[in-house]
Amino acid sequence: MSPFKNLIAATAILLMLSARTSGDSTSPPPHQARIAELLARMSLQEKIGQLNMRGGGQPMDVNPGMRDQNLNELLGEIRSGAVGSLLGANGADYINKLQRCAVEESPHKIPLLVGNDVIHGFRTIFPIPLGEAATFQPELIERAATVAAREARAAGTNWTFAPMIDVCRDARWGRIAETAGEDHYLGALMAAARVRGFQGDRVDAPDRVLACGKHYVAYGAPEGGRDYNTVDVSMQTLHEVHLATFHTAVRAGVASMMTSFNEINGVPASGNEYVMRTVLRGDWAFGGFVVSDYNAIPEMILHGYAADRADAAAKALRAGVDIDMCGFAYRDELAGLVASGRVSEKLIDESVNRVLRAKASLGLFESPYSDSSLEKRTLLAAEHRALARDIARRSMVLLKNNKELLPLPKSIKRLALIGPLIDSRRDPLGTWACYGEDQNVVTVRAGLAAALPQTEILTARGCDVRGESPFGVDEAVVAANAAEAVVLVLGESEDMSGEGHSRASIELPAPQLALAKSLFDTGKPCVVVLLTGRPLAIPTLAESAGAILCAWHPGTECGHAIADVLLGDFNPAGRLPATFPRATGQIPIHYNHKNTGRPPTADRYTSKYIDVAWTPQYSFGFGLSYTTFAYSDLRVEPATVDADGSIRISVNVANTGRRDGEEVVQVYFRDPIASRTRPVRQLCAFERVAIAVGQSKCVEFSISADLFAFYNWDMKRVVEPGEIELYVGGNPADGLKTSVQVIDAIAR
């Protein structure tokens, strides 16, 4: 069995990861004696300072005098011990200046945590996390996180606000771009991979950073897909879907957690003692620290949960929030709360202890400074760009390829390259590419021009990404008519998805759709490339385009990676981590839905629509290749299994096409009869395998019966006896079927 198969077998979402975790409480944490001695010497105000995060950047849109004044104010606060961590500071020299003030001039010489949003790369930008998840290769995403950590640490950052672990089944929500999509099993594996990549075996190594699992919890399930909105989920769904991914991150050793903006069943996350004290600290024995999201503690007032800033600070601290991110409620209110007896200083000590332990784990007390000479040598290194290019092309999902239009022949004489994104440098970086730089991005035009030096490439924008109407359709039609084939680049600008960018409609903007229809009417072979931060509703493209390649927002190496796939230098094998609906009105839509008492049929009184098919346009797990694969000889051993046992699955996969390629072999299960209704499919294993033309491989998986568990009516996690159906294939809808019998039950 390969290491990756062992990884899948070992990563049963709740129980099967190794015990290398921040919550391991069997022995006292390192440096504890030193921290206890330091804590005993600190005043109450100095302790509160360690729980206060403030902005640390220098805005470039103010005059130099104002920047100097802002910096002097910041240094004054650091010098007094009023700041324990910074948000947004960047650059080794600048951060070293701030650290020097902390460790040489503050009362107890305590270094700073410097946190930044290193979400999918630092200077070298990888595909958005949703795109990274489409690779179905967690071990590759671990390497991407390792590169991101190396670049960030070289520039002075020692803490990243990633991975984002939220599960999202509503593509209207802008932050789906930052997630691993709709499936909690895939999301759990991606989360664990990113934690390992950021933190490594020793987080005090000079090329590692503290990871932060966010947003705890259920932020990805807002009503109406509207960012920051109310979340109302059953306790079973909360545990089985949303908490499950975070538990995996804890077992992988994540150093910190960030609370979410939303409420959970009536209680805002930043004041929710159940999810933080009972589950995170209690059930999971999490030993790391918790930070609020930006200003989330005072926002509990607007939620209607806290009376004022003092009440918000008290409720957050009691719930278990250790650091107040730029809300300043702790800074302003905690001393008074202690004086009035509403908050115990012991509770503050517990939080400060966790923050100091994190700083000690990074080695900041011994080595607080970054080597500024590393910064230029590390950022955007050639090997980093090479990995970014490889992951970008592995993330791309071929959605349609009518009459084998792709790959395009390199002998093509005239190619029309059309669309509002063909020359964009910023948009391919996607959301939260904070330290990526536009000038480093390879555009789609540049990538194709480099790969086709003998081809005449005729270009036209055709329209804006948004806007009211197309302005250059006639020019685009002329270019198409003069070419042998058309590559049409459509989709979203980087600011059409991400935080605060929810959309009521995920259809293509009207100008883009009008442009596409005009080009389809020319009759020329048309390949659509989608640059997007979310699934889109694209029924017109699905019907009329010759081929569709979903490239997501692919990052720095955008143009090279797209050219590699379009021209056949790389055979695509990405799979959708989130479902593409036929229309926005189908949302929420996800593969692991439940049956109703009236499943969709031709009969009128069944669960469907009258104006659009109830099925998705393209389901989770779907993706095509330039070759074809056939499955045979599915075997499961043993035929019966104890609830605490495991099974072995093997299947033969043959490459029956004309090109070497990769297949993502996927294993799903269904519990057809249970004490609580279960989804029609649930992912429980996968592996991406390379198979040469005419060859076949026996792909094997070891699957714990614990993956079949769910929470019953009494909120006990159970594996029930009975038949479990198993499906193995290239997506949830197809493949071979077998079953296994669970012969006893377990309740935890």
> What is the SS3 assignment for 434-474?
CCCCHHHCCCHHHHHHHHCCCCEEEEECCCCCCCCCCCCHH
Does 394-586 match 629-747 in CATH topology?
no
224: DSSP letter: G
User: What residue spans define the domains of the chain?
Assistant: 33-376, 394-586, 629-747
pLDDT averaged over every residue in the chain:
94
Distance CA 534, CA 279 (A): 31
Q: Above 50 in pLDDT, residue 5? A: no
pLDDT value for 734: 87
Q: Is 246 in a helix, a strand, or coil?
A: helix
Residue from 208, 151, 192, 258 nearest 362 by CA: 208
Can you read off the two tokens belonging to residue 607? Answer: 């669960």
pLDDT in tens, 325-364: 999 999 999 999 999 999 999 999 999 999 999 999 999 9
pLDDT value for 68: 76
Q: Residue 188: enclosing H or E segment and its boundaries?
A: helix 184-199
Distance CA 250, CA 424 (A): 39
Q: Tell the CATH superfamily of the 629-747 domain.
A: Immunoglobulins (2.60.40.10)
Q: Would you call the peptide bond into 407 cis, given omega within 30 degrees of 0 as the criterion? A: yes
Distance CA 13, CA 243 (A): 10
Residue 339 CB neighbour total at 10 angstroms = 11
Residue from 196, 187, 254 nearest 219 by CA: 187
Domain 33-376 in CATH 3.40.50.2300? The answer is no
Average pLDDT value for residue range 413-430: 98
Find the angle CA(380)-CA(386)-CA(387) to the nearest 5 degrees.
95
pLDDT in tens, 264-282: 999 999 999 999 999 999 9
Report the catalytic residues: 293
pLDDT value for 22: 43
**pLDDT higher at 140 or 11:** 140
705: DSSP letter: G
pLDDT value for 467: 78
- Percent of residues, the chain, with pLDDT higher than 90: 92
Average pLDDT value for residue range 549-576: 98
Q: Above 60 in pLDDT, residue 17? A: no
Residues 6+ apart with CB under 8 A from 734: none
pLDDT value for 489: 98
Distance CA 95, CA 374 (A): 14
pLDDT in tens, 199-217: 999 999 999 999 999 999 9
Residue 578, sorted as left (phi over 0), alpha (psi -120 to 50) or beta, turns out to be: beta
Q: Would you call the peptide bond into 298 cis, given omega within 30 degrees of 0 as the criterion? A: no
Strands 547-550 and 717-719 turn out to be unpaired
Q: Counting every residue, how long is the chain?
A: 748
Average pLDDT value for residue range 285-293: 98
Residue 64 CB neighbour total at 10 angstroms = 8
Residue 275 CB neighbour total at 10 angstroms = 25
Contact by Cβ (8 Å): 341, 275: no
Distance CA 434, CA 561 (A): 21
Can you read off the two tokens belonging to residue 275? Answer: 């999810």
Q: Would the CA dihedral through 98, 99, 103, 108 be positive or negative? A: positive
Contact by Cβ (8 Å): 326, 55: yes
Average pLDDT value for residue range 76-98: 97
pLDDT in tens, 659-686: 999 999 999 999 999 999 999 999 999 9
Q: Is 598 in a helix, a strand, or coil?
A: coil
* Buried-exposed string 470-500: b where 16+ CB fall within 10 A, e elsewhere: bebbeebbebbeebbbbbbbbbbbbbbbbbe
Average pLDDT value for residue range 535-562: 98
pLDDT value for 15: 38
The pTM of this model reads 0.95
Q: Above 90 in pLDDT, residue 23? A: no
Q: How confident is the model at residue 32 (pLDDT cuts 50, 70, 90)?
A: confident
Residue 304, sorted as left (phi over 0), alpha (psi -120 to 50) or beta, turns out to be: left
Distance CA 295, CA 324 (A): 7
Q: Above 60 in pLDDT, residue 19? A: no
Q: How confident is the model at residue 3 (pLDDT cuts 50, 70, 90)?
A: very low
pLDDT in tens, 357-405: 999 999 999 999 999 999 999 999 999 999 999 999 999 999 999 999 9
pLDDT in tens, 202-261: 999 999 999 999 999 999 999 999 999 999 999 999 999 999 999 999 999 999 999 999
pLDDT value for 60: 57
For residue 650, count CB atoms less than 10 angstroms from its CB and return exposed for 0-12, middle for 13-18, buried for 19 or more: middle
pLDDT value for 746: 73
CATH of 394-586, one of 3.40.50.1700, 3.90.1150.10, 2.70.150.10, 3.40.50.2000: 3.40.50.1700
Determine phi and psi for 177, rounding to 5 degrees: -60, -30
pLDDT value for 468: 73
Q: Above 70 in pLDDT, residue 28? A: no
Sequence letter at residue 339: A
Contact by Cβ (8 Å): 86, 114: yes
Q: How confident is the model at residue 6 (pLDDT cuts 50, 70, 90)?
A: very low
- Percent of residues, the chain, with pLDDT higher than 70: 95
Q: Above 80 in pLDDT, residue 536? A: yes
